[in-house]
């Protein structure tokens, strides 16, 4: 399993991969919900952001290499609980957009 760090909210690239070989998930944060960590888990890799990278942001992007079809899930670890999206179908090149609401993660755009 590979771990990638999203160093910039605008950079959707991963060295050595083409755009169609990468999934990028955008998570809009409706309010500061005492988030400690956000983790994107794909088939054979994951990306994560820690509290200092999330604080005072309205949205974040996480990315992983994904060749072909697979699944992904996104988990938000808060001070008192954890919210996870259902495991969903994904292909390299997809750019889903999700929103973290008070007690759920909602998919708002899928492509």
Domains of the chain: 2-106 (2.60.40.10)
How long a stretch of residues is the chain?
Answer: 111
Q: Work out the pLDDT band at 6, boundaries 50, 70, 90.
A: very low
**Confidence (pTM):** 0.88
Q: Rounded CA gap, 32 and 54, in Å?
A: 9
Largest CA distance in the chain: 38
Beta bridge partners of 46: 3, 41
Q: Rounded CA gap, 28 and 3, in Å?
A: 22
The beta strands (E) that lie in 51-104 are given as 59-65, 69-78, 82-84, 88-91, 97-100
- Give pLDDT tens digits for 38-49: 999 998 899 999
Higher-confidence residue: 52 or 3?
Answer: 52
């Amino acid at each position: 399993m590979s771990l990638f760090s999203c160093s910039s909210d605008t950079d959707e690239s991963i060295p050595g991969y083409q755009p169609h070989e990468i999934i990028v998930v955008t998570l809009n944060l409706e309010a500061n919900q005492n988030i400690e960590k956000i983790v994107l888990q794909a088939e054979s890799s994951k990306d994560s952001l820690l509290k200092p990278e999330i604080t005072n942001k309205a949205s974040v992007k996480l990315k992983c290499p994904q060749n072909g079809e697979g699944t992904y899930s996104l988990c938000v670890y808060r001070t008192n609980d954890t919210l996870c999206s259902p495991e969903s179908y994904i292909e390299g090149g997809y750019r889903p957009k999700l929103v973290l609401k008070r007690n759920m993660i909602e998919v708002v755009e899928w492509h």
